[in-house]
Amino acid sequence: MNRARAFFQGYRFRLVVAFSLVVATALALVLTSLPRLLDGYFAQQEQEALEDRTQLVTSLIVQQLIQNQGLTSETVRPIVCETEPPAPCDMVWRALGDGEEGYVVNLARELARADVTMTLSFGAERPGLVVYRLEVPLDSETAPAGQRREPIQASRSAEIVDVFWTRNEVAAPSRLVTVTLSDPLSLRAQTLETIVGVLFGAAVLALLVAIVLAVLLAERLTDPIRRLTQASRSLAEGRLDERVTMPARGAPEIVELSTAFNAMAERLQSSIEYISRDRDRSREFLADVSHELRTPIAALRTFNELLQEGAAADAEARDEFLAHSHQQIERLDWLATNLLELSKLDSGLVALDLRPDDLRAVVEDAVAQAEPGAARKGVSLNAELPTEAVRVLHDPPRLGQVLANVIGNAVKFTPVDGRVTVSLRSDADEAIVEVADTGVGIDPVELPQVFERFYRGAQAVEARAAGSGLGLSIVRSVVEMHHG
The 10s digit of each residue's pLDDT in 254-301 is 777 777 878 888 888 888 888 887 777 667 666 666 766 676 777 677
**SS3 category, 421:** strand
List, edge to edge, every strand of the sheet that includes 130-136: 130-136, 115-122, 174-182, 153-161
Q: Mean per-residue pLDDT for 320-335?
A: 71
Specify if 119 maps to a domain.
yes
Instruction: Name the pLDDT band for 210 (thresholds 50, 70, 90).
Output: confident
Angle 177-180-182 from CA coordinates, rounded to 5°: 170
Specify if 151 maps to a domain.
yes
Q: What is the pLDDT of residue 462?
A: 52
CA distance 148 to 154: 17
Nearest-CA neighbor of 457 among 475, 442, 470, 444?
Answer: 442
Cis peptide before 444 (omega within 30 of 0): no
Question: What are 89-147's pLDDT values in tens digits?
Answer: 777 777 777 666 778 888 877 787 888 888 888 766 666 677 888 888 877 665 566 67
Q: Which residues contact 271 (CB under 8 A, 6 or more apart)?
A: none
**By the 8 A CB rule, do 386 and 425 touch?**
yes
**By the 8 A CB rule, do 257 and 228 touch?**
yes
Of 1-10, 194-203, 314-323, which range is least confident?
A: 1-10
Specify if 324 maps to a domain.
no
Q: Mean per-residue pLDDT for 305-315?
A: 64
Instruction: Name the pLDDT band for 464 (thresholds 50, 70, 90).
Output: very low
Arithmetic mean of pLDDT over the chain: 76
Question: What are 60-104's pLDDT values in tens digits?
Answer: 888 888 887 775 556 677 777 777 777 777 777 777 776 667 788
Q: What is the pLDDT of residue 477?
A: 76
Q: Which residues contact 312 (CB under 8 A, 6 or more apart)?
A: 318
Specify if 439 maps to a domain.
yes
Domain boundary among 154, 175, 192: 192
Distances (CA, A) of 344 to 264, 288, 459, 474: 31, 21, 30, 10
Return the CATH number at 475: 3.30.565.10
Distances (CA, A) of 390 to 255, 432, 435, 463, 479: 51, 10, 17, 33, 17
**SS3 category, 355:** strand
Question: What are 153-193's pLDDT values in tens digits?
Answer: 888 888 887 777 666 555 667 788 888 888 887 777 777 77
Distances (CA, A) of 201 to 32, 191, 193, 211, 215: 14, 15, 12, 15, 21
Instruction: Name the pLDDT band for 381 (thresholds 50, 70, 90).
Output: confident
DSSP string of 285-301, one letter each residue: HHHHHHHHHHHHHHHHH
Specify if 277 maps to a domain.
no
pTM of the model: 0.45
**By the 8 A CB rule, do 12 and 6 touch?**
no
Q: What is the pLDDT of residue 234?
A: 79
Instruction: Please give the distance of CA 281 from its chain centroid, rounded to a whole number.
Output: 44
Q: Mean per-residue pLDDT for 223-248?
A: 76
**By the 8 A CB rule, do 114 and 182 touch?**
yes
Count of structural domains, the chain: 2
Amino acid found at 474: I
Alpha helices, DSSP H only, in 138-251? 188-236
Q: Which residues contact 71 (CB under 8 A, 6 or more apart)?
A: none
Question: What are 25-42's pLDDT values in tens digits?
Answer: 888 888 788 778 877 888
Q: What is the pLDDT of residue 388?
A: 86
Burial readout 121-159 (b: 16 or more C-beta within 10 A, e: otherwise) = bbbeeeeeeebbebebebeeeeeeeebebbebbbebebe
* Phi and psi torsions of 273, nearest 5°: -65, -40
User: Which H or E run contains 115?
Assistant: strand 115-122
Q: What is the pLDDT of residue 44?
A: 84
Q: What is the pLDDT of residue 465?
A: 46
Specify if 163 maps to a domain.
yes
CA distance 176 to 122: 6
Burial degree of 174 (CB within 10 A; 0-12, 13-18, 19+): middle
Specify if 251 maps to a domain.
no
Specify if 325 maps to a domain.
no
CA distance 470 to 300: 24
CA distance 178 to 95: 16
Range of the domain at 477: 353-484
Domain boundary among 138, 164, 192: 192
Burial degree of 206 (CB within 10 A; 0-12, 13-18, 19+): middle
Domain boundary among 192, 211, 237: 192
